Chain A
Amino acid sequence: MLRIQNLSKTYPSGTQALKNVSFDVRDGEFLVVIGLSGSGKSTLLRCINRLIDPTEGKVYWDEVDITAAPPTKLRHIRRKIGMVFQQFNLVKRSSVITNVLSGRLGYVNPWMSLLGLWPSEERKRALQALERVGIADKASDRADALSGGQQQRVGIARALMQDPKLILADEPVASLDPVLSHSILQYLEQLNKEGITVICSLHFLDLVHRYATRVIALKDGVKVFEGSAQEIDRAKFKEIYGEEAQEVRAASL
């Protein structure tokens, strides 16, 4: 159970990215966050694992206050929260397996990891993670040698290494060819079915309908909608995205 209470974030530049946002996420949900670019989706997700420190408000996870956690405690919380990014955020010059192994940094002996030494069971775990996303054969390739879809799958494998209870996915398919959207989201759906809570920001209405168990919508940092995916229809969508918004359909596969 994740509880977001009165979360606000004001950047030093004065931009108010989040304004008093509150909602709950029950374990096992596939929560989709929608909203225009700049509506605060990325800030919201990053406030949950405190990549960005919120200005005000609290985030409780299983009754532990993440926002008040001291550094070591925070790192222990973070390793249970996997994160998938729009730009994949892989180290392009490192190999795929190294990128995946880096997901395990919160668990292993820090000194060994600094020397680049990984226990064999961690290597095995990394290969299994890559197998789950279907690219075990690319393990020793350089990350930037992979296609966009494959890189995002490496990103998911890295999150899997954390043995996460929660996955934050920040527009995981926005940088991909629309036809690849489903192939990536199906992995997240699969993980969700295995009991991992997923919070995912998305843009396409039909993807929202297909994957979300619940939806919240942000507009200018304010939560403007919370409810089931079915409640979001064209009219609601226009309301959230503004009158000029034209819905673009992701190619249905």
Chain B
Amino acid sequence: MTNETATRRPVVRSGIASALVPGLGQFLRGQRYRGVGILIGFLVMLVTVAWYKDPAWYAVPVLIWLWNVWDSISLARNRVRSVLLPVLIGLTAAYGIGWQVVGIDFSNADMNRAVNAVLRPMLHPDFIQSRREHNQMWVQVQVPCSSEPPKALREDGGKTATVIPDCGPVGETLIVSVSGMWPDTETNVLWRTPIGDPKMVGEGESQMLVVTTDESGSLTTTIRVPSTALVAAPDPTLPQFHRVYFDQYRPIGGYELSFIGNEVLKGALDTVAMALLATGLGMVFAIPISFLAAHNLMGGNPITYSIYVVVRTLLNILRSIESLIIAIVFVKIVGLGPFAGMLAMALHSIAALGKLYSEVIEGIDPGPIEATRATGANWIQTVRYAVIPQIVPPFTAFTIYRWDINVRMATIIGFVGGGGIGFLLIELIITNNMRGVSTVFIAIAVIVMVLDYFSAKVRERLV
């Protein structure tokens, strides 16, 4: 009986201690880290749950508290319990809160829109198109009517286009006809104002009017003078000549780059070149700086060592600022455009390459230097034969790797007006050209993959 109480008393005492202050029982048993850890974990959970004000989550600190009492009692009986259980409880709570904060809610997403306006066009990247030839005809119409409007008739190379009546105010119905075009071909009918502004004349003035010619190459259709035909006119009462265009296209075999394809290709080249320039500039400045940041060269006396510390600190600070942010600052200084992006990348490259280069210099093997000096070589010969062969391959490898990083960075920096393919991408997203966006995605993926592959190959050979 006495024996039993003697063993039971510390067990109970431990349990009570942990029940009062989580972790206290464990702490008093000598498991200090465990005790403090439990207390901190419990408090963090409690504060977090209290913060988010969702009563259901109070179950989590309660569960941890229960586990803690059980653990304390087990410990008093000399059994160490795994901490997996409270860690899992804590993680569950963290994920749950994360879920709430992010607001994962698919009901908001318009699936129809996602498929029709985003995903479907993205499956048809706009890069190449079949080569087409173009057949065009136009005729002039006076809007509004003057007292003696000229005949709305035009003949050109066997093609004839007419409009009846010859003139009309905004909203007037016109009969337009054309002959001598390609037979049985879809023809776009388009209105252009005197300054060349295109106006659609199809459904609701928002769609292209498309009419198919008959077997003799003629078509006749009715249009209305577009309601916006005169918005840009300085004086809407002044009669002016507008035009009705008829455009036909037909494939002539083969493919060519589409307009977007051309832009993407140009943007991609811009980006790669911009990254190359930034890397080159970074390298030029990083090489001398890296010598100042090499411990083995600068550690000798207090003056050089203080230079080393300053340079190292500057490099570390520069490196820790994302180049996107530096780019925004440069946009403020030198204005929007590739120059700002290039400067930002160059600055970041100086910091990154400076650090990497200096580590190469620190890791140099003094043996060959000693051996070369021993042959009677002079100082510059020693540098050429014992130092340069040791640092050039890793320098090159790091530089190529940096270029690789800069190309990726350049696409992002383009977003803030840094030019190149990133700038094109943001333009395409704003104008909702999802086919173009998808082309850019593919182009970026291809550039990055190709560069990644080659830089890995080159580095493999060099290092």
Interface residues of A (CB under 8 A from B): 49, 51, 75-83, 85, 87-94, 98, 102-107, 110, 113-114, 155, 158, 161-162, 168
Query: Which residues of chain B come closer than 8 Å to A168, judged between CB atoms?
Result: 374
Query: Which residues of chain A come closer than 8 Å to B378, judged between CB atoms?
Result: 75, 105, 110
- Interface stretch, picked from B14-22, B142-150, B237-245, B379-387, is B379-387
Residues B367 and A51 in contact, CB atoms below 8 Å apart: no
Offer 28 A-B interface pairs, CB within 8 angstroms, sorted by A. A49-B374, A51-B370, A51-B374, A76-B376, A79-B375, A82-B375, A83-B374, A85-B367, A85-B370, A87-B367, A89-B365, A89-B367, A89-B368, A90-B371, A93-B390, A98-B389, A102-B375, A102-B377, A103-B375, A105-B372, A105-B378, A106-B375, A106-B377, A110-B378, A113-B381, A161-B375, A162-B375, A168-B374
Residues B389 and A114 in contact, CB atoms below 8 Å apart: no
Residues A91 and B390 in contact, CB atoms below 8 Å apart: yes
A227 to B324, CA, bound (A): 73
A88 to B374, CA, bound (A): 13
User: Is residue B183 contacting chain A, with contact meaning CB distance below 8 A?
Assistant: no
The residue that B384 contacts in the complex, of A51, A82, A85, A113, with Cβ under 8 A, is A113
The residue that B370 contacts in the complex, of A89, A114, A158, A162, with Cβ under 8 A, is A89
Residues B372 and A102 in contact, CB atoms below 8 Å apart: yes
Residues A92 and B385 in contact, CB atoms below 8 Å apart: no
> Which residues of chain B from 389 to 432 have any CB-CB distance to chain A below 8 Å in the complex?
389-390, 393
Closest to A108 in B: B381
Query: Which residues of chain A come closer than 8 Å to B384, judged between CB atoms?
Result: 113-114
Query: Which residues of chain A come closer than 8 Å to B375, judged between CB atoms?
Result: 78-79, 82-83, 102-106, 158, 161-162
Interface centre among B370, B373, B377, B380 (most CB of A within 10 A): B377
Residues B374 and A81 in contact, CB atoms below 8 Å apart: yes
The 8 closest A-B pairs by CB, nearest first: A106-B376, A79-B376, A89-B367, A105-B377, A89-B371, A78-B376, A83-B374, A75-B376
A213 to B384, CA, bound (A): 39
Given contacts A51-B373, A76-B376, A104-B375, contact A110 B381 (CB under 8 A): yes
A90 to B390, CA, bound (A): 11
Query: Which residues of chain B come closer than 8 Å to A107, judged between CB atoms?
Result: 376
Residues A85 and B389 in contact, CB atoms below 8 Å apart: no
- Tell me, rounded to whole Å, the shortest Cβ–Cβ distance linking A92 to chain B: 7
A82 to B378, CA, bound (A): 16
Query: Which residues of chain A come closer than 8 Å to B377, judged between CB atoms?
Result: 75, 102, 105-106
Q: Mark B348-359, 1 if CB is under 8 A from A, else 0.
A: 000000000000
Residues B376 and A91 in contact, CB atoms below 8 Å apart: no
What is the total number of residues of chain B having a CB less than 8 Å from a CB of chain A? 20
Query: Which residues of chain A come closer than 8 Å to B385, judged between CB atoms?
Result: 91, 94, 98, 102, 105, 113
A75 to B377, CA, bound (A): 7
A79 to B365, CA, bound (A): 22
Interface residues of B (CB under 8 A from A): 365, 367-368, 370-378, 380-381, 384-386, 389-390, 393
Query: Which residues of chain B come closer than 8 Å to A98, judged between CB atoms?
Result: 385, 389
Query: Which residues of chain A come closer than 8 Å to B390, judged between CB atoms?
Result: 91-93
A155 to B367, CA, bound (A): 12
A26 to B32, CA, bound (A): 72
Closest to B392 in A: A93
Residues B374 and A90 in contact, CB atoms below 8 Å apart: no
A196 to B372, CA, bound (A): 20
The residue that B368 contacts in the complex, of A49, A79, A90, A104, with Cβ under 8 A, is A90
Query: Which residues of chain B come closer than 8 Å to A158, judged between CB atoms?
Result: 371, 375
Interface centre among B371, B380, B389 (most CB of A within 10 A): B371
Residues A83 and B371 in contact, CB atoms below 8 Å apart: yes
Residues B374 and A93 in contact, CB atoms below 8 Å apart: no
Closest to B386 in A: A91
A49 to B365, CA, bound (A): 20
The residue that A105 contacts in the complex, of B365, B368, B381, with Cβ under 8 A, is B381
- Tell me, rounded to whole Å, the shortest Cβ–Cβ distance linking A40 to chain B: 17
A155 to B385, CA, bound (A): 15
Residues A78 and B374 in contact, CB atoms below 8 Å apart: yes
Query: Which residues of chain B come closer than 8 Å to A106, judged between CB atoms?
Result: 375-377
Query: Which residues of chain A come closer than 8 Å to B372, judged between CB atoms?
Result: 102, 105
- Tell me, rounded to whole Å, the shortest Cβ–Cβ distance linking B372 to chain A: 6
- Tell me, rounded to whole Å, the shortest Cβ–Cβ distance linking B369 to chain A: 8
Contacts A105-B381, A106-B376 known; 11 new A-B pairs at CB < 8 A: A75-B378, A77-B376, A81-B374, A85-B371, A88-B367, A93-B389, A102-B377, A105-B377, A106-B375, A161-B375, A162-B376
A113 to B375, CA, bound (A): 14
Query: Which residues of chain A come closer than 8 Å to B371, judged between CB atoms?
Result: 83, 85, 89-90, 102, 155, 158
Query: Which residues of chain A come closer than 8 Å to B373, judged between CB atoms?
Result: 51, 78
Interface centre among A76, A82, A94, A102 (most CB of B within 10 A): A102
Query: Which residues of chain B come closer than 8 Å to A105, judged between CB atoms?
Result: 372, 375-378, 381, 385
Closest to B384 in A: A114
Residues B374 and A92 in contact, CB atoms below 8 Å apart: no
Residues A93 and B376 in contact, CB atoms below 8 Å apart: no
Interface centre among B367, B368, B381 (most CB of A within 10 A): B368
- Tell me, rounded to whole Å, the shortest Cβ–Cβ distance linking B380 to chain A: 7
A184 to B380, CA, bound (A): 31
Closest to B394 in A: A93
Query: Which residues of chain A come closer than 8 Å to B374, judged between CB atoms?
Result: 49, 51, 78, 81-83, 168
Query: Which residues of chain B come closer than 8 Å to A88, judged between CB atoms?
Result: 367
Query: Which residues of chain A come closer than 8 Å to B370, judged between CB atoms?
Result: 51, 85, 89
Closest to A75 in B: B376
Closest to B377 in A: A105
